[in-house]
Amino acid sequence: MENCIFCKIASGEIPAATLYEDDQFRVILDLGPASKGHALILPKKHYANLYEIPDETAGAAMVLAKKVGTAMKEALGCAGLNVVQNNGEAAGQTVFHFHMHLIPRYEKDQVGLSWTPGTLTDEVKEEVLDKVKKILG
């Protein structure tokens, strides 16, 4: 992808603060961090989002999240960790190259990742179960 900033960062064409690199991924520090240590896992191949990545890449990304998250816990002493992955503008995705956010959390930090819980009505429950299970098989 010619004009994809994360392709350029993942390939090393544009420099970034790199925490980790292997043949499939580069892990960088986010330039607009939600907290100290906020990092992004970038696959080196371009996939726009979760729907497009191969199963093996999805699995490897989660294994890497575990590895880097565990190192952050030890090194930074964070009290928690959010693994966040946005798909589509409506979900807050701004860079359309698949990435996973690793957001270290600290006691009483001001990171806002919360929502107001609604109520699961019987009607909606049945509708969602019926529609999605039909596709999942």
Instruction: List residues near ligand AMP by CB under 6 A.
Output: 5, 16, 28, 30-32, 40, 86, 92-95
Cβ 46 to ligand AMP, closest distance in Å? 14
| Contact flag: residue 45 with Zn ion (CB under 5 A) | no
- Tell me the one-letter amino acid at 8: K
Q: State which residue, 26 or 78, has the beta carbon closest to Zn ion.
A: 26
Q: State which residue, 40 or 78, has the beta carbon closest to ligand AMP.
A: 40
54 SS3 class: coil
In this structure, what DSSP letter does residue 26 have? Answer: E
Q: Which residues contact 113 (CB under 8 A, 6 or more apart)?
A: 82, 84, 103
**Residue 99 bears catalytic tag:** yes
- Tell me the one-letter amino acid at 73: K
Q: Identify which range of 24-32, 44-52, 53-61, 64-72 contacts Zn ion by CB under 5 A.
A: 44-52
Q: Which residues contact 45 (CB under 8 A, 6 or more apart)?
A: 24, 57
Q: State which residue, 29 or 60, has the beta carbon closest to ligand AMP.
A: 29
60 SS3 class: helix
Q: What burial class does residue 106 get, using C-beta atoms within 10 Å of its C-beta: 0-12 exposed, 13-18 middle, 19+ buried?
A: middle
| Contact flag: residue 1 with Zn ion (CB under 5 A) | yes
Site string for Zn ion, 80-99 (x = CB under 5 A): -----------------x--
- Which residue among the candidates 38, 97, 99, 101 is catalytic per the annotation? 99
The catalytic site residues sit at 99
